[in-house]
Each structure stands twice: as structure tokens, then as C-alpha cells.
Chain A
Amino acid sequence: MSAATSNPVPAQGEFARFASRFAEDRVAVFGLCLLVVIVAMALLAPFISPQNPYDLGRVDIMDSRQPPGTKAGDGFAMLLGSDGMGRDLFSSILYGLRISLTVGVLSGVLAATLGLVLGLIAAYAGGRIETLIMRIVDLQLSLPSVLVALILVALLGKGIDKIILALVVVQWAYYARTVRGSALVERRKEYVEAARSLGLSHARTVFRHILPNCLAPVIVIATVQTAHAISLEATLSFLGVGLPQTEPSLGVLIANGFQYMLSGKYWISFFPGLALLLTIVAINLVGDRLRDVLNPRLEK
């Protein structure tokens, strides 16, 4: 790995090989395209959405609860209808995606960092430290994530930072367990011994030499966990204990539509849920393929 980073030519070759293997599965390529489109739409929301749904001057209460396709007072067609406050649902979904993706990715990155560091320490240090860390991981993994997250937000309160903290707490253990598993194998290899004999510090050996060789399974876990985090955030927000109305993620939008559901106004909950589903499916399709491509056992 260190040879590959110091010399860009084989690294590119490696990436091209990886990309062509990934592309062998058409479903996964479809998932990747879908994901790119979703992320692009979320990033470009202020430019492509017909309405800023949180600009009170643009929203007209007279447009509320209109079925898909109705023309708004401003003249644009509300493709997916409008919600109870007269906001264009398509625009709300684009803005909601931004929040959902931010929460998912941010909590994933933080949990991965925490899990990586603790997992590497456990594998490298061994002994009591390893036992302690892994016992906490076992305890964490034996409890269902939705329950732990619920209890945490109950204690911490609402807000985007608190939700991210709760999601980090439920996720880090998966990373720690995975990283420890591969780091245990790596640390017995000769290159680690070589690095130590060269007089490199423990920290350098762990983070520059062992860590890069443990990353493949982490990438797979990261995709699955990000999808899981997005879903979990939506669940908590739907239950009314996640994000507040001022941070309207997809889960909040679905929750807002719930009250109109029984009177047959399905679209207010249906379309945000569909957006959530497509996002999760896209991420999972990519993750599934990554698992196959990065699995050394399947390599010929």
C-alpha cells in the first residue's frame, strides 16, 4: 500500500482494475448512478428546486395539501403535490435529502474514526485493554440499535448534533469489531515486524502501516452503516424524538404527512419515503458490490 501511494502509476492501474470489476455488475452500476444523481440533487437543491420551501415569502398556505401535478399559486407545477403548510413537496424532499445525507455521512465518518482507533488499539495492544474494549463492543452489539438510539436521544434531547452523537454511539462498535479482526491478522505479518525493527514508533506502525491494510472491510461496513444511519435517523425523527421541525429531514417530512394519511392524502408521506427508500437501496447496492470486489477470497 505504501509502495502504491508513493508511486502513482500502479495506484491508478489498481483503481482502473477495481472500477472495471465493479462495473461487471450492472445492478451495482445502476445503484451507483442512482446514488450520484441523488447526491447531486441534494447538493444542488437551492438551484434546481422550484421553491425554497423554508422561505416564508415564497410559500402560500392556499397551496396546502394539493395532489401531485397541481399548479401552485406562483405558476410552477407541484410535481409531487404539497404538504400541510403549502410547501412544494418536491422542493422539501430535495432540502430534506441534504439533512438526511449530512446526518448519515457525518455520523458514519465520526463513528468510523472512533471505531478504527479503538479497534486498532485493541488489536495492537492486546491484553487487558483489548478485553476491555471488546467487552464494551460486545455489550453494545448485544443491544438493538434502535433502542439504544431512542434512549440516548431521550437523555440528550432533540437537535442535529445530539442525533449525530447518538448515531455515532450505536455505530462505532461495528467498525471497531471489523478493524480489530483484520488488524489481528495484519499485525503478525512480516512488514509490521520490519517497521518495528526500523525503529518506527508504535503510533506510526499502527496508523501508517497496519491501518491502510485494514481499510477494505471498513469501506464495506461504512456503506452499509451509512444507509443504516440514514434509516435510523428517519425512524427517530418520525417518532418525534429525532430532528426538530426546524431541521426537516426526510423522516420529519414523513412524520408531517402521517396525520393526513387516514384521509387519503397519501403523497405527503409517500414521496419522502420513496426518496428515503431509493437512497438506502442505492447505497446498499453499491455496498453489496464493494463487498464482492474487495473480498480477497473471491479474487482470482
Chain B
Amino acid sequence: MLAFVIRRLAQAFFVVVAMVVLVFFGTYVIGDPVWMMVPGDATQEQVEEVRRTFGFDQPVYIQFLTFLGDVLRGEFGRSYVHGSSAIGLILDRMPATLELALAALILAIVIGIPLGLFAGLKPDHPVSRGIMAVSILGFSLPTFWVGLMLIMLFSVMLGWLPATGRGPVISILGIETSLFSLEGWRHLFLPALNLALLKISLVIRLTRSGAREASLQDYVKFARAKGLSPRRIIGVHILKNIMIPIVTVLGLEFGSLVAFSVVTETIFAWPGMGKLLLEAIQRLDRPLIVGYVMVVVLLFVTINLIVDILYSALDPRVRLTGSQS
């Protein structure tokens, strides 16, 4: 187990280093950042001045080492637009994004698992066919367009839910969140549902195939023969056995929820770090872009690492096959 953890840690480290190198070359070497900082009518002296101030006149390896040092200290410079520390801005916006992703994850589980179970246990029922058709549609629907349609339907036509913004937040244990108030959920529901759509389809499919497989197993037949109630068989015996793959996939998908929230946050004007990234891209705010990429990569690598280690703890076969290859 220890060897496995160490190997995975080394892999995670490799990914982070690779990303640091890529981001450095992507942002610092391709294109001259100086031209984005100076006004169009700057004189040659002013350009040189900016170049010296920011260290762009140094050789590439020196610049890279400086960049590496900055990354290690979590310092990406000041945002050109906001004027304050890039990493501070990102961390400020992070709770809103994580809250949105978490709410989407909850929706995916609460909606996806019951529907998937139904479709898996009664595969020939017309409702099951309907569920599967909807889940195929869920994979095809362009997320951003669904977001627009949700706003159209629930905010403009029906007027039930607010279309934009986060709503009031309540501070709990020093973290501001809208998860604990009705008004907060009214703001949260549409963006979270929009973000969750793909994941709901995914959970339905996973649960369905898992339930179909499990319901044919001997232990289920035995439980039925023993006279256990269907509710107990489904709730305890089937659900417990299909949860491992679902939890794993959802864990891994949490990162992609954070990434996809760029789209959802923009549509619903949700003040998270995804919206911040998009504004930074439109304004070529380099420190913010670099900071965001590094924060998200770190988040991703950490999530993958935790899921992998948990998974191998739950299912020893993963460890064994991993060490053979």
C-alpha cells in the first residue's frame, strides 16, 4: 500500500511539474507579454523600461527559475485589471465555485441514482426507456444552451427563480455559503441543475448498468430466497455493491465540474472563479490566467490522488494490477 501511495505521489508531482513547464512556455515564451502591458503608443524607452521591470530581458532559464519560485510561493503577481494579488482574487472567488460544484454533485446523486436504479431493475418498463432516452439527450445537449433555456423558462416566462447572481450568503464556520438558506437555494438551483445535467446522465447510466449486473448475482438471488423484502435487497445489497464505481467516477468528475463552471458561471452571472477566468481571458490579464490554471491543476491532481488512494484501499485488485504493469 505504501509503495502504491508513493508511486501515485510521484506521478502527481510529475503532472504538476509538466503543467508548470507548459504554462510557463505557453504564457511567457509564445508571444511577448510586454506588448500586452504597454499602451499602443509607448516609446521604445518605455517598452524597454517595462521589459526590465518585469525581468523579461533575462535569459529564458532565469525567467523560468523566477517563475518556478513564484509558483512555489503561490505568488502570480498582481492582476493587471484589478490591481490586487491574483491568487488572492482567485481564492476569494473559490468558495462560490466550489459551492456550485458541490450543489451540482448533490443534484446528480439525488436525481441520478433513483432514476438509474429504476431503469436498471425494470429494464423493459416504458418509464425506463424514457429515462434512458433522456440520459442520451443529456449527453448531446450543449450545456450553455440548456442554461439559456432554463433562464428562459423559469426566470423569464414563469418567473419562479432568479436568473442571475448568487443571492444572500450566510457565514458558517467562516465560510460564506448560500447552501443553508431558502433564498440562497433559489439562486443556486438553476446554475447547479445546469452544471449537473451531464453528470445526471452519467450517474443514470452507471447506476443502471451496475444495478442490472448486480441483480443477476448469486447473493441477490440468495437474499431473495431468504425472503428479504425487495426494499432491503435494493437498499442494502445492490446499492452497497454498485456504490464503489459511482463514488469513484463522481469524485473524479468533481474536477470537471469545477472546470465546466466557467460556462455556467458566465451564463448565470455567478461570482465564482470561472467567471473571473473568462474576464481575465477577455482582458488578457496574464497573472490571473496563470494563477487560475495552476490552482485548478493542483485541485485536479489532488482529487485524482485522493480518489485513487481511496479506491485502492477499497478494492485491493487495483493496487495489484497496478504494480504488475
> Which A residues are within 8 Å of any B CB, using their own CB?
139, 142-144, 146-147, 150-151, 153-155, 227, 231, 234-235, 238-241, 254, 258, 261-262, 264, 266, 269-270, 273, 276-277, 280-281, 284, 288
Q: Does B100 contact A (CB under 8 A)?
A: no
Q: Is the CB of A147 within 8 A of B145?
A: no
Can you spell out 22 A-B residue pairs with CB atoms less than 8 angstroms apart?
Answer: A143-B259, A144-B255, A146-B259, A151-B289, A155-B27, A234-B142, A234-B144, A234-B145, A235-B143, A235-B263, A238-B145, A239-B263, A254-B148, A258-B148, A261-B156, A270-B148, A270-B152, A273-B148, A273-B149, A280-B142, A281-B140, A288-B136
With A142-B300, A151-B293, A239-B278: A284-B140 Cβ-Cβ less than 8 Å: yes
Task: List residues of chain A with CB within 8 A of the CB of B266.
Answer: 239
Interface hits, B201-227 → A, CB 8 Å: none
Report which of A143, A261, A276 forms a contact with B152, defined as CB distance below 8 A.
Answer: A261
Report which of B142, B145, B262 forms a contact with A150, defined as CB distance below 8 A.
Answer: B262
**What residue of chain B has the Cβ atom nearest to residue A234's Cβ?**
B142
Q: Would you give the shortest CB distance from B13 to chain A, in whole angstroms?
A: 13
Q: Is the CB of A139 within 8 A of B15?
A: yes
Q: Is the CB of B260 within 8 A of A144?
A: yes
Q: Is the CB of B151 within 8 A of A261?
A: yes
Task: List residues of chain A with CB within 8 A of the CB of B170.
Answer: none
Task: List residues of chain A with CB within 8 A of the CB of B143.
Answer: 235
Q: Is the CB of A238 within 8 A of B152?
A: no
B6-33: CB near A (< 8 Å → 1, else 0) gives 0000000001001100000011001100
Task: List residues of chain B with CB within 8 A of the CB of A241.
Answer: 278, 281-282
Q: Is the interface of B mostly helix, strand, loop or mixed?
A: helix
Interface hits, B253-273 → A, CB 8 Å: 255-256, 259-260, 262-263, 266-267
In Å, the complex CA distance between A172 and B27 comes to 22
Q: Does B137 contact A (CB under 8 A)?
A: yes
Q: Is the CB of B260 within 8 A of A269?
A: no
**What residue of chain B has the Cβ atom nearest to residue A272's Cβ?**
B145
In Å, the complex CA distance between A127 and B65 comes to 32
Task: List residues of chain A with CB within 8 A of the CB of B91.
Answer: none
With A144-B256, A234-B142: A239-B262 Cβ-Cβ less than 8 Å: yes
Supply 18 further A-B pairs (C-beta < 8 A) apart from A238-B144, A239-B262, A264-B156: A142-B15, A147-B259, A150-B262, A151-B26, A155-B26, A235-B143, A239-B278, A258-B148, A258-B267, A261-B156, A266-B156, A270-B148, A273-B145, A277-B141, A280-B141, A284-B136, A284-B139, A288-B136
Report which of A154, A258, A273 forms a contact with B142, defined as CB distance below 8 A.
Answer: A273
Task: List residues of chain B with CB within 8 A of the CB of A280.
Answer: 140-142
Q: Does B304 contact A (CB under 8 A)?
A: yes
Interface hits, B267-297 → A, CB 8 Å: 267, 277-278, 281-282, 284, 289, 293, 296-297
In Å, the complex CA distance between A276 and B145 comes to 9
With A154-B289, A264-B156: A277-B260 Cβ-Cβ less than 8 Å: no
B298-315: CB near A (< 8 Å → 1, else 0) gives 001000100000000000
Q: Is the CB of A240 within 8 A of B152?
A: no
Q: Would you give the shortest CB distance from A68 to chain B, in whole angstroms?
A: 15
With A143-B300, A147-B259, A261-B151: A155-B31 Cβ-Cβ less than 8 Å: yes
Q: Does B163 contact A (CB under 8 A)?
A: yes
In Å, the complex CA distance between A276 and B30 comes to 34
In Å, the complex CA distance between A276 and B140 comes to 10
3 nearest A-B residue pairs (beta carbon) = A273-B145, A144-B259, A147-B259
